[in-house]
Amino acid sequence: MALSITANRQTAVSPSGMSFAIIGSRGFPSTYGGYETLVRYLARYLVADGHHVTVYCREPKDGHRVWFEEGVRCVATRGHDTKQFSTLSFGATSITDAAFRRFDAALVLNIANGYWLPALRAAGVPFAVNTDGLEWKRAKWSRLGKAVFKTGAQLSARFAPELVCDSEALGDIWDEEFGRTSVFIPYGGEVHEELDDAPVRQLGLEPGRFALSVARLAPENNVELTLDAIESLGPDGPKAVVVGSANFDNPVTQRLEALQAAGRVLWLGHVADQDLLAALWQHCGVYVHGHSVGGTNPALLQALGAGAPTIALDTVFNREVLRSEEQLFPHHIEALAVRISQLCNDAELRTQLTERGRSVIDGRYTWDGVCGAYRDLLVQLARVRVA
């Protein structure tokens, strides 16, 4: 089955009252990035469009396993919330539950859930799988973990009626490695106008004079590269602000604690306050996006929409979004240090990058377009089932 879906445009109003499931995220509304950002926007969009939406969650609310949030039916299934088993265990219980429901269509997130897709097929529930990034290439996983994700990818390619890739470059990889075409639907971003800098100043930060990193503390996100560059600039260089945490033992946390004690870094951990996060992006001297594995990264789009003067590690995925040599840097400490210093000392250049970033979001990555494309995909899947 080949469905033609175009992101970033609003199509005709879909039939109301369809029942859709979203499986594989932490829940709704989660403040984490990645899948969680997508679910936060998509679930609300589908409800506003007149559909019945169930989001499978990991944590019960107030002791309840089923509850409603903003018109979204939330269902918490059981699992083991550990680095090794969380995705597999929660995926197994949520997909098993979904197989017994009469959903018109489902969106499955994370290729690790490929192991459980036959249950949805056997139940006759049409679904699409969002492939996300190249999990089997992430350095944070052991050899066994990488093998689990690679097999999950192979099973997703085999059993999923439709695959969704959030970047065209990622779609090429799935075509080359697994022989599967995919629907291209990116993540979205929201453009923010001028935001008050008071939240930033309350943290003891001077607007325009700090380098910002927003990423989970995983090796492939290269937070340590940013820290190396900041340290190389010496005590008179800009301060680094790091937003992010790790759900496993990580040597980066020890380094962050030491640098924070020395006054070179402000480590905020996970920031749930989206307004504060937007203010940090908008008022930083430079946002350093070091993600190296994956497709269209949600944090990159959020940063651009917030007006962050952004530079990114030179990867095929970041190139696809930015389309600007000026905003790419190599995996090299001194080269990154030069770019950080340049932006923190050039207000005019920061303004240029801010305007360019907002135009990227307005032109190619609006949430209305992204959610509309997912809605169209789910409706078409449901129609194929009915036919």
Beta carbons of 40 and 30 less than 8 angstroms apart: yes
Residue 9 is assigned to a structural domain of this protein: no
Q: Which residue has the tokens 């639907």?
A: 185
- Mark whether 23 and 83 lie in a shared domain: yes
Residue 1 is assigned to a structural domain of this protein: no
- Mark whether 211 and 353 lie in a shared domain: yes
User: What is the distance between the alpha carbons of residues 139 and 250, in angstroms, rounded to a whole number?
Assistant: 12
Task: Assign residue 229 the CATH number of its domain.
Answer: 3.40.50.2000
Residue 222 is assigned to a structural domain of this protein: yes
Token duo for residue 199: 């939240």
- Mark whether 184 and 297 lie in a shared domain: no
User: What is the distance between the alpha carbons of residues 368 and 88, in angstroms, rounded to a whole number?
Assistant: 31
Query: Phi first, then psi: what are they for 269, rounded to 5°?
Result: 65, -150
Residue 72 is assigned to a structural domain of this protein: yes
What separation in angstroms does the CA of 355 have from each of 200, 226, 344, 352, 364?
21, 24, 16, 5, 14
Residue 193 is assigned to a structural domain of this protein: no
Nearest CA-CA partner of 293 in 115, 143, 169, 145? 169
Q: Where are the alpha helices (DSSP H) in 240-345?
A: 251-261, 274-283, 298-306, 316-322, 333-344
> Which DSSP category does 138 fall into?
-
Q: What is the pLDDT of residues 122-156, one digit of tens each?
A: 999 999 999 976 766 676 677 887 888 889 999 99
Token duo for residue 69: 């949030």
pLDDT at 139: 66
- Mark whether 360 and 212 lie in a shared domain: yes
User: What is the distance between the alpha carbons of residues 104 and 102, in angstroms, rounded to a whole number?
Assistant: 6
- Mark whether 153 and 236 lie in a shared domain: no
Q: What is the pLDDT of residues 300-356, one digit of tens each?
A: 999 999 999 999 999 999 999 999 999 999 999 999 999 999 999 999 999 999 999
pLDDT at 385: 67
- pLDDT mean across residues, the chain: 90
- Mark whether 286 and 309 lie in a shared domain: yes
Mean of the pLDDT values across residues 23-48? 87
Handedness of CA 307, 218, 138, 114 (dihedral sign): negative
> Which DSSP category does 133 fall into?
S
- Mark whether 149 and 134 lie in a shared domain: yes
As a whole-number percent, the residues of the chain with pLDDT over 90 amount to 75
Instruction: Kindly tell me if the per-residue pLDDT of 247 is higher than 80.
Output: no
Q: Which domain holds residue 62?
A: 19-188+366-386
User: What is the distance between the alpha carbons of residues 334 and 304, in angstroms, rounded to a whole number?
Assistant: 24
Of the pLDDT bands very low, low, confident and very high (cuts 50, 70, 90), residue 234 is very high
Beta carbons of 255 and 223 less than 8 angstroms apart: no
Residue 133 is assigned to a structural domain of this protein: yes
b/e per residue 49-81 (b: at least 16 CB within 10 A): bebbbbbbbbebeeeeeeeeeeebbbbbbebee
Handedness of CA 40, 19, 368, 361 (dihedral sign): positive
Q: Per the structure, how many domains does the chain have?
A: 2
Residue 29 is assigned to a structural domain of this protein: yes
Token duo for residue 291: 């993600």
Peptide linkage before 238 cis (omega within 30 of 0): no
